[in-house]
Structure 1
Amino acid sequence: MSGLLEGKRILITGVITDASIAFHAAKTAQEQGAEVVLTGFGRLSLVERIAGRLPKPAPVLELDVTNAEHLDTLAERVREHLPALDGVLHSIAYAPPSCLGGDFLEAPWEDVATGVQISAYSLKSLTTATLPLLTAGSGIVGMDFDARVAWPGYDWMGVAKAALESTNRYLAREVGPRGVRVNLVSAGPVRTMAAKSIPDFATLEDKWGERAPLGWAMTDPEPVARTICAALSDWLPTTTGSMIRADGGFHALGA
């Protein structure tokens, strides 16, 4: 029996540790038949070690989404491993400490601009960089945290996620005629290295498991990884510009 992503070629960004959502997306994609290439930023040797823990070791490319040279050469570097791409996972977000933690009115524009560039504009940058490789029917998936409301301590990262959601819609309009889909997966809180940098994350942990109708396991990224792979697959051929929620149903409840 063939896997959901049999024969697909996927570029996955944002692998930091083997607890990260991106790592589990890469693992699930391989288990479902995909060939995977990873990108890393900073300590590439660490990312390469983590890549070795996948079912099949995957090549790692350096990618700083604020570096024009990295973006301009990305397609060429991917071609050294894969001739084309059928999917891309954007799992990249960062904002300086001043942008999180409750001092919303004090964060300087320079820090906010960094957060917006890396967390939202980079979805456009990554799409543009990989477009020459993307086949008709390809899917681009970005990782989101529902920005319809103000979360405790999330502050300007929440604003950046709102920008990401809007960017997703405009990108869907622009690349749809090329047969490329662009969607977001809005995940519930998962205990990752990225989550540890969010003040008041423990508050979300306490409430999510209690209120999500389907329940929620903070230490299990696999349900989110499966949702990502579904969005990358051929099974959602007319879904684009959408936010797909993988949060146990938490978003559907009021007070």
Structure 2
Amino acid sequence: MKLLKFLYGITGLAVFLILVWLFAVPNELIQQKIEEAVSRSGNGTMALSIKGIRKGVFFSLSADTVNLSIDDQPAISINDLSINFTPRHLNAGKLAFLVRGKIGTGTVKGILMLPLKGNFKIDKAGLDSIPYLNRFGMSANGHLSSDIILNNNEVEAVFNIPDLNIDNPDVTMIPLINTFRRIQGSVHLDGNDLRINSISLEGEKGFARLKGQIRNGLADMTLELMPVERSLNSLESMIIGKYIISPGYYAVPINGPLPNL
């Protein structure tokens, strides 16, 4: 009899909480708290804007569009976002949610644990849906796949772009950038500090490796070039010639502010 009363009590509490969630908690309040949480976690460098937020049963949420900005610059846009509660991590004392959405023609899915930790996978997202890349002074087409680990204001990402195409070949910040067709690597974002662990680039004119960091919009990086010499035209050879270290190996410093786009 006591067990039956206990079950009735638990069921009643669950129904009560769901009704409070659905009818007593305004959508605007939920949106405000989410946006404030992201802003606090990024030390003021990140901002979230949500459009068309809606509640569902069992503490689920959906939104038409979620826009993330970093340093007051658009970073990424996610459409048709859904967030659903999962009890899988309750035994560890953590609230967790399954996340799904679209980034352009690609998808993002993963798990978010409060206060702000998670693992996410991006599959074949169009680069035109990731405006953060514009900070590097280039407009590109291609599809990005990535595994991302979120830990409060820190983000670790491993990524791959197998079909890169640079739209504006006049970019001079990175020599030969418009000749590369495949990029893969890993980066670490901590507030205003973007650390490039290693990024490798491959194209019809050779290989390259990029390392360094971008802090507060200032680049301190080195591009190691290993070109196929016979494939370079005279202008390309002249541009990289002063950076030669040894035959077939060039080290190009990339320093200073990023393009103001």
TM-score by length of 1: 0.26
Q: 1 or 2 for the larger relative contact order (CA 8 Å, sep ≥6)?
A: 1
Higher fraction of strand: 2
TM-score by length of 2: 0.26
